[in-house]
Amino acid sequence: MQERKSLPPAVRRRFQTGRPCLDLVHTGGEGELAVWEIVHTSEDLGRWLSVILEIPGITAEDADLTAFRTLRAALSRSAFGQAAGTPLSPNDIDTINSAATERPLTPRLGPALTLDYPDPTAKAALSTLARDAIDLFASPLATRIRVCASETCGLLFVDASRPGRRKWCSMDRCGNLSKVARYRESHSGEPGA
């Protein structure tokens, strides 16, 4: 399994939302999100579910792709809508609840006190992600779902900061780029600039 820290920075940024269900949204999508699509095959699905949930060896079949795309679309509409102050649609709620009814990934403690997931499947992983979404949307953090303020970003994140005024998906990238731009703008008229 490829670990998040070994992903290229541009891809790694997609999976820093603060919630696995929102990380799933950042795998691509329909319409304008199609340019960001990274899940084309069942092998891709297994790989990215493993990265998102940090559980190695998640297996997927071609039949799982439809369930994945349906859940991802519902999560995407719901999360971007929540960030804009729009209530979740009844159809999206039904889709999320339906996915959550499947058996989720179940951890097991190994003899060496290690965490293991026997036979991790995409169906179970999608159920686990749907349950994470239910937990998020039913919690006070639902009002803290944000879209990065950078005009060139648009990634979702959960603002878990104490004051609740975070604007950037990452201070390492978007926040820093904004600060640099403001600094250059404020010092552009100075002599020697």
- DSSP secondary structure letter of residue 190: S
Question: What pLDDT score was predicted for residue 193?
Answer: 52
Structure tokens at 89: 């649609």
Residues 6+ apart with CB under 8 A from 187: 193
Q: What is the CATH number of the domain that holds 13?
A: 1.10.3300.10
Cα separation, 84 vs 78, whole angstroms = 10
Mean pLDDT of 32-44: 93
Q: How many helices (H) does the chain have, and how many strands (E)?
A: 7, 4
Cα separation, 100 vs 130, whole angstroms = 5
Query: When comparing pLDDT for 41 and 7, which is higher?
Result: 41
Q: Does the pLDDT value for residue 73 go beyond 60?
A: yes
Residue 191 included in any domain: no
Q: Residue 30, CB half-sphere, CA atoms under 13 Å: how many?
A: 11
CA 193 from centroid of its chain's CA atoms: 40
H or E, element range at 124: helix 122-137
Residue 127 included in any domain: yes
- DSSP secondary structure letter of residue 140: G
Residue 192 included in any domain: no
Residues 6+ apart with CB under 8 A from 182: none
Residue 112 included in any domain: yes
Which residue has 């795309």 as its token pair? 69
Structure tokens at 153: 């970003």
pTM higher than 0.75, yes or no? Answer: yes
Residue 193 included in any domain: no
- Judged by DSSP in three states, 41 sits in coil
Residue 27 included in any domain: yes
Query: Domain residues for 126?
Result: 4-186
Residue 20 included in any domain: yes
Q: Does the pLDDT value for residue 176 go beyond 70?
A: no
Q: Does the pLDDT value for residue 172 go beyond 80?
A: no
Residue 73 included in any domain: yes
End-to-end Cα spacing for the chain? 48
Question: What pLDDT score was predicted for residue 185?
Answer: 66
Domain count for the chain: 1
Mean pLDDT of 96-114: 95
